[in-house]
Amino acid sequence: STSSTLTPVQSQQIKDKIKQQIATEMATAYATNLVNSLTENCFEKCVFQPSNNLNSVESKCIDDCASKFMRTWNVISKAYISRINSN
């Protein structure tokens, strides 16, 4: 046995750390995708003449759109996670 050989415990610790890093990167990508999708969808739907400020109609539209988008995203995410966990 050489000093570079990992014990089963060390090997598992490395695997767990890699899994955690992947999960963190996936969560970051997921959040980025969510923000980008929400911004694109709600901006296109609610802002017809871009300016430095949103008027009250645009602001309400974006609030409503973002809320609806988040609810829908959560339903889809829960269904996806449920499907992954059942396999």
Output the domain CATH number for residue 51.
1.10.287.810
| Tens of pLDDT, residues 45-60 | 999 998 999 999 999 9
Residue 15 lies in a domain: yes
Residue 85 confidence class, pLDDT cut points 50, 70, 90: confident
Residue 56 lies in a domain: yes
| Tens of pLDDT, residues 6-46 | 999 999 999 999 999 998 998 899 889 989 999 999 999 99
Q: What is the average per-residue pLDDT within 55-70?
A: 95
Residue 3 has pLDDT above 70, yes or no: no
Residue 1 lies in a domain: no
Look up the domain containing 21 and give its range: 8-86
**pLDDT number for residue 53:** 94
Q: What is the gyration radius of the CA atoms in the chain, in angstroms?
A: 21
User: Based on the structure, what is the number of domains in the chain?
Assistant: 1
Q: In the block, which residue shows the tokens 């750390």? A: 17
